[in-house]
Amino acid sequence: MLRIAVQAKGRLYEETMALLEEADIKLSTTKRTLLVQSSNFPIEVLFLRDDDIPQTVATGVADLGIVGENEFMEKEEDVEIVKRLGFSKCRLSLAIPKDIEYDGLSWFNGKKIATSYPVILRKFLKENDVTAEIHVITGSVEVSPGIGLADAIFDIVSSGSTLVSNRLKEVEVVMKSEALLIGNKQMSDDKKEILEELLFRMDAVKTAEDKKYVLMNAPKDKLSEIVAVLPGMKSPTIMPLAQEGWCSVHTVLDEKRFWEIIGKLKGLGAEGILVLPIEKMIV
């Protein structure tokens, strides 16, 4: 049985549970408890505070953890990054009151900075020869300048709306963060086998993201030109149709270039274009 530590609430919790569901790992959602076992996969989920996850994995209480890169860097626990998951993206930034003129990092010399991430901030200031006082605070860091507790803040930024509502502006991005799958370095061989199956399922889900399965009817005399504009995984599937001079073309398209490519296909005479979502994709 593999044990994975997951954040107990918030956006990272929601996106993690969605990933596990897409990987067909069934967990009871009727009543959340500290520890929930899957009914169809040898894994159990331990729900914790995000800042407790790195230590829990390092000490072997959990074999794996899904945690923000910001917490991974802050806690400096002896664990390994198993996989970057690509969701829950944010950044750790320095922000100052909106009306103050900013002329570079030297502005922070002699200032007081409020943060929940003193380890990352201290390292950044040292690397840039900035001498500032770090005020460690938990909770709503962004209110600190407004109540006179600090001159600036160092905190997570996603959309930036929280900064705006507190009359702050982002002036320096210190690091970018995303969800990480971290692992205990002393995992047994049996557990590593389960991990390999878990990674296989996760990869199938992530590969299918932003991909569309496209079917179309294409004139045979334009087939070579149509194939040339298709950036498929390898080559499209082509099957003859009952109607003379036509065939059916099946391929996979990246959603980012979807409309650009569809426009070219229509221009080359493709008809009856059908677009389907992809749930999983094994490569």
- pLDDT number for residue 255: 81
Question: In whole angstroms, what separates CA 243 from the centre of its chain?
Answer: 46
Residue 282 forms part of a structural domain: no
Calculated CA dihedral for residues 62, 68, 71, 76, nearest 10 degrees = 60
Domain co-membership, 19 together with 82 = yes
Domain co-membership, 139 together with 199 = no
- HEC string of the chain? CEEEEEECCCHHHHHHHHHHHHCCCCCCCCCCCCEEECCCCCEEEEEECHHHHHHHHHCCCCCEEEEEHHHHHHHCCCCEEEEECCCCCEEEEEEEECCCCCCCHHHHCCCEEEECCHHHHHHHHHHCCCCCEEEECCCCHHHCHHHCCCCEEEEEECCCHHHHHCCEEEEEEEEEECEEEEECCCCCHHHHHHHHHHHHHHHHHHHHCCEEEEEEEEEHHHHHHHHHCCCCCCCCEEEECCCCCEEEEEEEEEHHHHHHHHHHHHHCCCEEEEEEECCCCCC
Domain co-membership, 188 together with 78 = yes
Other C-beta atoms lying within 10 Å of the C-beta of residue 82: 20
Domain co-membership, 32 together with 164 = no
User: Which of 207, 222, 248 is where one domain is finished?
Assistant: 207
Q: Are 2 and 63 in contact (CB under 8 A)?
A: yes
- pLDDT number for residue 232: 57
Residue 78 forms part of a structural domain: yes
Residue 105 forms part of a structural domain: yes
Domain co-membership, 143 together with 155 = yes
Residue 283 forms part of a structural domain: no
Domain co-membership, 245 together with 268 = yes
- Let me know the angle formed at the C-alpha of 30 by 27 and 34, rounded to the nearest 5 degrees: 65
Instruction: Give the pLDDT confidence of 98-129 residue by residue, as tens digits.
Output: 999 999 999 999 999 999 999 999 999 999 99
Instruction: Give the pLDDT confidence of 136-159 residue by residue, as tens digits.
Output: 998 889 999 999 999 999 999 998
**Sign of dihedral through CA atoms 247, 248, 254, 256?**
positive
Give the structural domain span for 230. Answer: 210-277
Residue 241 forms part of a structural domain: yes
- pLDDT number for residue 28: 80
Domain co-membership, 11 together with 78 = yes
User: Which of 207, 224, 258 is where one domain is finished?
Assistant: 207
- pLDDT number for residue 30: 57
- pLDDT number for residue 266: 92
CA distances from 172 to 125, 129, 154, 160 (A): 12, 15, 9, 13
CATH number of the domain bearing residue 127: 3.40.190.10
Reading the block at residue 180, the tokens are 């990480």
Indicate the number of domains in the chain.
3
Flag residues of the chain having pLDDT under 50. Answer: none
User: Which of 158, 177, 196 is where one domain is finished?
Assistant: 177
Residue 264 forms part of a structural domain: yes
Domain co-membership, 66 together with 14 = yes
CA distances from 270 to 56, 228, 261, 262, 266 (A): 55, 13, 11, 9, 5
Match 């590593």 to its residue by tokens: 192
- pLDDT number for residue 31: 58
